[in-house]
Amino acid sequence: MNFNPDDKSYEEIREFFKIPKNKNVVEDMNANMFQSMFMRLKERQVSHYAFLNKEFNTMNYKSAKCSMHCFDSTARPLNQVNDCLKICR
């Protein structure tokens, strides 16, 4: 393909690169770029929320297990149970 832009008119260059005449190309390109960026952010957001949800569930599980340990014995005084619960939080 032998293309020299100096020898071509604006309309010939437009036809060569298949740029449509009836729409503003810069605004269309910006809209497409923002749409693409929005879709990528949306995909990342879903995976990020899934990760945070997993971490939150793990922390809740560990905290619940620790709290259950504080009530293992009914002979334990209430102040020791309170201290144990403070550690679990």
Indicate the number of domains in the chain. 2
18-64 residue pLDDT tens: 877 777 777 888 888 999 999 999 888 888 888 888 888 988 888 88
Considering the domain boundaries, does residue 3 fall inside one? Answer: no
Q: Is residue 52 part of a domain?
A: no
CB-based contacts of 67, cutoff 8 Å, min separation 6: 85, 88
In a domain, residue 49? The reply is no
Which residue, among 37, 40, 36, 60, has the nearest Cα to 48 in the 3D structure? Answer: 40
Q: Is residue 69 part of a domain?
A: yes
Q: Which domain holds residue 31?
A: 8-43
- pTM beyond 0.75: the answer is no
Domain presence at residue 65: yes
